[in-house]
Amino acid sequence: MAGFDDDEVEGAGGAGAVGTGLLGGGLTAVVQAASVVVKAPVGTTLDSIPNPRPPAGDGDLTPKEREALVACKAGMNNLQAAFWVAGKSLETMKTGNLHRNEGIPNFADYVMDTWEVSES
């Protein structure tokens, strides 16, 4: 039975090589290199938040200031989501005693040593 990757042709592999297609139905397929560029969402990296600047004036925000506000709000929303993800992660590790092979028997000490987060 043909596998999903049986569309490769002996010696093929460069851009423009021809194969029989994913399902082998006789239709030709072109083998080519592909690349995917993933851009981090605004507010999830330091580079996506503009540097602090004095206001452009007292009136309405400029387009650049509105863009900065959107990025900063996204950053704060990211913090809020990250807070809940971190909390659930800590609860899951503590409840399951998942740190037990890390050499630190006390969970509070483990968290402090690993992430410098105190129990309080």
Domain ranges of the chain: 1-35, 46-115
11-65: per-residue pLDDT in tens?
545 555 555 656 666 666 666 777 888 888 888 889 899 999 999 999 999 999 9
User: Between residues 2 and 31, which one has the greater pLDDT?
Assistant: 31
Which two tokens mark 47?
């580079």
Q: Give Cβ neighbours of residue 100 (< 8 Å, ≥ 6 apart).
A: none
Residue 3, pLDDT > 60, answer no
> What distance in Å separates the CA atoms of residue 42 and residue 71, rounded to the nearest whole number?
6
Q: Give CA–CA dist 8/24, Å, rounded.
A: 10
Residues 6+ apart with CB under 8 A from 112: 118, 119
